[in-house]
Amino acid sequence: MSKDLVEKFNALPRNPRSPSGWAPNEWHFDVRYVQLEPNPAHVVFFFQPQSHLIYTLRLPIDLASDEVNLKFFPETAKEAAPTVVKGILRAFVDNMGRNDRRMYPEPPSALAPWKLMTDDKALATAVGHELKRVGVKSEALWDISISSETVVDGAMQTFGLFFRNLVNVCVLDDTMAAIVQTPGPIVWEGCRVPKAVSEKRNDLDDEENSDFRVMLEYTTLWATVLPSDGTEYEAKRYQENREREFTRIETLLKEKPERIINAAADRGDADAALDYGMRLTVGLGCKRNRKRARDYLVKAAHSESASKTIKAMAHGVLIEWYLHSDRITPRYAFAASHHCNEAAQLCAEVSGSDVCASPAVLWFMKKTFKTLAEDVPEFYIWFIEAVDALEARDRQYEENQAKIARKRALNASRYRCAAPGCEIEADKGSKLSRCSGPCDIDKKPYYCTQECQREDWRNHKPFCRPGAESSVIDDGTKYDLAETSPARKTVDGALMIPITFRESGKTLMVCSTTMDAKMLKEMKRYNEMDIGQA
């Protein structure tokens, strides 16, 4: 806190009435998240109930106009209070913007507030304590009142009018502007800081397993946010890189422990900032710290020296940062979508392809964004790059599925175990073993296990000779192989089996690259048995 700012505030006269004399010198304030892209921001909003005079100040107040405003993203009232108090002092020292003589030729005298009030108890307490801590002399201001419903309603109405003007500037289409929702004040009372997934580990894990798990989290996070075009080559490269990643991390932790990587990040090294932010996220070689992790990730995402890949990865990690919550509030949802959009745009610039996006972007768009947009359609206004990335990948998926369908139509039995009733399918013919007998190669049956081959031998034996017809019995499977297979070929292939889950009654094609046919069949047996048998 600037000592000069506090002294200027303390020097202001403090009267119970406004300069005009007809309105009490009482001010309501609250903090809101204004979601307007491309530069969303937190603001502190001031409202004088009797005169309906308003003033809005972007937070933090010392942020340059071209800097990203999401550097400030408080999760509690206590965390927000220092920045909010700076805004309060600045607003009154600057006479609520009325010192600009171009707009106010005869501005009223600047006054310190006689009374401050807000609608949130936690914010009132935190701001009151901060005003006292920084040295505001008027003890009456340390006790922030709680605004009445009438005052809160008036603040909502006046902010709504102000916000509509902002929207009209940002959104050209009237129809689109109509669906943009007016943000309400942030509710701090009773809020809990979201816990990172990595903080939910079993404390009973031994040190060796814990270290392995942390390294696994780090490598998984790295692969999740790295730009990808979704091809088999990319997937193979990730797998090969991941196998080398553990050795690299062990070496990195020895050569660049927390002290060194922290210092490099503080000096402005964008790569170090990303690395340290990820370390703080999962607790790799340091203590997990959610707030500091975000600080360094934001630094990497907006560093002038950072490559587009580093920026895209930092934005990708930040998507997950906002999702580690029991419930996603609009503020968190908009912020996560903002970083998703930035990551999608950067991924496209890195590759020059519209189908290049990190798994973090696509997972968020598939699993979270669509659900959010059902209730808040304006998401489709602000986050076009992310929407385009998902649509491009969906088109790629459909094209790949069509290729798979054409290929499998030539020899469908190659991708399905020939044993009647088995139902195991594969996305690659190499995942199944074919008969080694003298039957024609285009008529050979394929099997998922030796047991299935032995069970089918009685059926296949008469056909296991040159020139014979195929012995494969089409058991009438109701699943389209192309529709149920992965979007692209996996590196080593995947096995699939349809399972009807007894609790929901839904039938899903379960696909796995790690489980063998026996394990998949056991999963099917367990999930389809009667509840009494289970």
In tens, the pLDDT along 132-157 reads 999 999 999 999 999 999 999 999 99
Alpha helices in 352-480 (DSSP H): 359-364, 370-375, 379-382, 384-410, 450-460
Q: Phi and psi of 293, rounded to 5°? A: -60, -45
pLDDT at 517: 92
At residue 203's C-alpha, the angle toward residues 202 and 204, to 5°, is 90
* Whether pLDDT at 67 is above 80: no
Instruction: Report CA dihedral (12, 16, 20, 26) to the nearest 10 degrees.
Output: 90
Q: What is the pLDDT of residue 204?
A: 38
Question: What is the pTM assigned to this prediction?
Answer: 0.79
Whether 202 shows a pLDDT value over 50: the answer reads: no
Q: Do the beta carbons of residue 340 and residue 377 sit within 8 Å?
A: no
Above 50 in pLDDT, residue 76? yes
Round to whole Å and give the CA distance between 349 and 354: 9
Confidence at residue 262, expressed as pLDDT on a 0 to 100 scale: 96
Q: Comparing 64-68, 204-208, 258-262, which segment has the lowest mean pLDDT?
A: 204-208
The answer to whether 279 and 218 are in contact (CB under 8 A) is: yes
Tens of pLDDT, residue by residue over 220-269, are 888 889 887 655 444 555 556 666 777 778 888 888 899 999 999 999 99
Q: Of 155-169, 197-211, 507-521, where does mean pLDDT reach its minimum?
A: 197-211
In angstroms, the CA 501 to CA 157 distance is 50
Query: Is 70 exceeded by the pLDDT of residue 510?
Result: yes
pLDDT in tens, 452-499: 999 999 999 999 999 999 998 764 444 554 445 444 455 567 888 988
Mean residue pLDDT of the chain comes to 85
What integer is the mean pLDDT of 187-211?
A: 57
Distance CA 484, CA 404 (A): 11
pLDDT over 60 at 281, yes or no: yes
Predicted pLDDT at 99: 72
The whole-angstrom separation of Cα 388 and Cα 355 is 9
Q: Do the beta carbons of residue 112 and residue 89 sit within 8 Å?
A: no
Write down the pLDDT at residue 243.
Answer: 64
Contact 126, 77 (CB under 8 A): yes
Q: Which amino acid is at 276?
A: Y
Judge whether residue 198 has pLDDT over 70. Answer: no
**For residues 312 and 314, what is the distance between their CA atoms, to the nearest angstrom?**
6
> What pLDDT score was predicted for residue 509?
83
Express each pLDDT in 400-450 by its tens digit: 778 877 877 777 788 889 998 898 988 888 889 999 999 998 889 999 999
Q: What pLDDT is attached to residue 395?
A: 87
Give the residue among 82, 71, 31 at the shortest CA–CA distance from 335: 71
- At residue 155's C-alpha, the angle toward residues 151 and 156, to 5°, is 120
pLDDT (0 to 100) of residue 462: 94
Express as a percent the part of the chain with pLDDT over 90: 51
Task: Give the tens place of pLDDT for each residue, 358-390.
Answer: 889 999 998 899 888 988 889 998 999 999 989
Of 110-114, 461-465, 508-512, the least confident: 508-512
Average pLDDT, stretch 183-199? 70
Q: What is the pLDDT of residue 112?
A: 94
How large is the average pLDDT for residues 321-342?
86
pLDDT digits (tens, 9 = 90+) for 12-37: 999 999 887 888 999 999 999 999 88
pLDDT of res. 236: 53
Per-residue HEC secondary structure of 96-119 comes to HHCCCCCCCCCCCCCCECCEEEEC
Is the pLDDT assigned to residue 197 strictly greater than 50? no
